[in-house]
Structure 1
């Protein structure tokens, strides 16, 4: 979802993590990325995200075994990781989320791609997204978001608006905790450059989260964002779903006239 590349329609059969095929370079990549990001995130990431790293059993020295991660998630919130070959189309993507399945890839970049990767790999999918799936309010928001999207899955206008909401929360969201702005979006927590830019660039607007404003705001896929939206809590995200549903229905209906 949310990329220009042609996505897979749907995995025809369940895929498995070929753990024994990871090479020493893969483990070095995971360790290097993990250690570098954790140094940045200890003082910058949401406490719920950092707690999620522990809940999911993630460490620098070991590429996660997803069957083990699934056991941790099942106990925490009932979510499950579903391995896919790459980007998938909108309908199966939202169907996965509605069923509390999060699609992830299991391939890892090589050492020459540590600073930039065009297509999301396992580090982005797992390190970036999975820790917050252990948070009850955030994971409930994800399921509710998918339910709204599926009601309007045949409306390109509605899905474009849903993509904006997903982008500025799940991928590039900020949260205020104890008076300080912290990172929670997966696209930020998995990026060293954007982890610093999103919080510390003095010229970047950091706007209080508002559904209507988010839906009016385009996003940027191949550069740092021009603005970020700040929530007060993950409960705030969940509580915004009824307003989101009304806005999506009204705007999709208006555009179809």
Structure 2
């Protein structure tokens, strides 16, 4: 607004000075002076020129304001577009990070459940041998002490077997990779056969032989799943996106 007023005042001064100079030069050249009619005509011309100048300045200012508004609108639209693109990129990166973290957490959880299964399987040789030996002694030399030892060894085996069953059930609920799941399922089937063998051993009648061979076969079948589970999980981790929190060659307990 101030610029518009300044332009108008400047134009008025220029036109006024030009009119005065023209009048002076006209009088100097002709030796005559303007009468009232001539001054009225000159005033009308002067007013017209001033009006034209004011209109021209107004149009110029209006055009400048329009161009400035359009430029600011374009700049604003471009900024908004850039901000939306940056926001979308940030959201995409955040979603990628979240997906990576969730996948990493899921794989870590699955790995830990398999580690619990492997650890529980590793307990079986000692508790199976302990219960088998205690049952054999109680049958060979019946006594209160041997019966108590048999019961104690059975409780120890039952607790260990319960941990193995719980670890297997957890793994079956958590694991979603098909090959790992199938390996866990097979391990569960062999562990269940071993569990039935040991339960039958504890209640075996004295006139029947201890099925050592069957127990040995079931135990070895169960133990074989240790290495198989470790290998299938390592293969799964190697085929998955790299995760600095899980090293397939340095897994805890493995």
Q: TM over 0.5, yes or no?
A: no
Bigger proportion of residues as helix: 2
Bigger proportion of residues as strand: 1
TM value normalised by structure 1? 0.23
TM value normalised by structure 2? 0.24
